Amino acid sequence: MRCCQRAFVSILWIILLLCQHSVSADVLTLSDGAILNGKIIRWTPDGVVFSNNHGTFRIKQSLIRDVHVTSSFSEDIQLLEQMGLAVIASDVEINYRAGLKQKVQMREPVENMKPGGMGFSLTLSYLFTGGKLKEELPRGSGGHVMIDPGLSLYSRESVFLPELRGEFSYFRFEQDPSSVSGFSIAGGPMWLFPLGGRFGKVRLAILPGVSFLTVSDDDFTARSNTFTLSSLLGYEYPLGGMLLIVNGRYTYFYDEKAPLTGMGIELGMGFTMR
């Protein structure tokens, strides 16, 4: 268990370091061939907020073919020329400086933006148990519905500011004649770390909640309402209007004498409702 925890922490730090370069970008190539220069203000669950001299816009991730990171408008000019475009240097500079100004101010004109819409995901998990019950109940499974209310909590840019998620789950751990099963309700922060372009995002969530469990054995059946804590570390990849989701899941069910823990993998799909 300690080895798994050390590996989890090491992987997390590596992912955070790799994602830092993707916080801002200046030239977007869209799926229809259009090329935009300016600044990405922030990443959203379904795309980016992009700003240049023409305003501030939400652009869906499914419409973005490529993202190029630059540090000055001269780099933008060089990149656009390499793409074979006829470049007007003054226009490039104006777009760059307008986007940079909006990025530095770290705020978005709400009147130019549309809400992201509510989203949800459906996933299935397969878990290996730990603790005192790992011999009696060595493995289990779960089904999960995660809700994204579509709320933007912050107007300023930072991938380290989380979004809210709610989750409804059903768990079942069973090995004849014993079983633990029931529903849980949880909610908490989720961080999304974009990898740039259409390469998806790394996701990290911490979801405290409560579970309503039924514990059964040969000679008894009991019910328990208990504190639950789930943590997720995974990856989401856009597929058209959907997301392919792969998570590592750790869930802790509190019990004074015999807490139950489950660690495993989770697969599913995400959707956005407009």
Cα–Cα distance for residue pair 193/138, rounded to 1 Å: 33
What pLDDT does residue 198 have? 65
DSSP code of residue 231 = E
Block residue for tokens 């995901």 = 121
Considering 12-26, 28-42, 68-82, 233-247, the range whose residues carry the highest mean pLDDT is 233-247
CA–CA separation, 223 and 200 (whole Å): 41
Top mean-pLDDT range of 2-11, 57-66, 131-140, 164-173: 164-173
**CB neighbours (10 Å) of residue 159?**
18
Give the separation between CA 14 and CA 18, rounded to whole angstroms: 6
Q: What is the pLDDT of residues 199-215, one digit of tens each?
A: 788 999 999 999 999 99
Report how far apart the first and last C-alpha atoms of the chain are (Å, whole number): 42
Q: Give the Å distances, CA to CA, from 221 to 173, 177, 213, 252.
A: 14, 11, 11, 21
Average pLDDT estimate for 13-25: 41
Section 161-186 average pLDDT: 92
- Beta-bridged to residue 214, according to DSSP, are 181, 223
Of 14 and 158, more confident: 158
**DSSP designation for 61:** G
Task: Determine the distance from the C-alpha atom of residue 96 to the mean position of all C-alpha atoms in its chain, rounded to a whole number.
Answer: 28
Is the pTM higher than 0.75? The answer reads no
Q: Which residues contact 229 (CB under 8 A, 6 or more apart)?
A: 186, 206, 207, 208, 209, 251, 252, 254
| Percent of residues, the chain, with pLDDT higher than 90 | 33
Q: For residue 150, what pLDDT is reported?
A: 66
Give mean pLDDT, residues 105-116.
44
209 in Cβ contact with 167 (< 8 Å): yes
| pLDDT of res. 111 | 36
The predicted pLDDT at position 180 comes to 94
d(CA 228, CA 235): 23
All domains in the chain, ordered by first residue:
2-112 (no CATH), 118-273 (2.40.160.20)
CA distances from 23 to 69, 134, 245 (A): 9, 42, 22
Q: Is pLDDT above 90 for 133?
A: no
Coil, strand, or helix at residue 38? coil
Residue 158 binned pLDDT confidence (cut-offs 50, 70, 90): low
pLDDT in tens, 47-89: 788 888 888 888 887 788 888 777 777 887 888 888 888 888 8
Does residue 158 contact residue 179 with C-beta atoms inside 8 Å?
A: no
Does the structure show a pLDDT above 50 at 248? yes
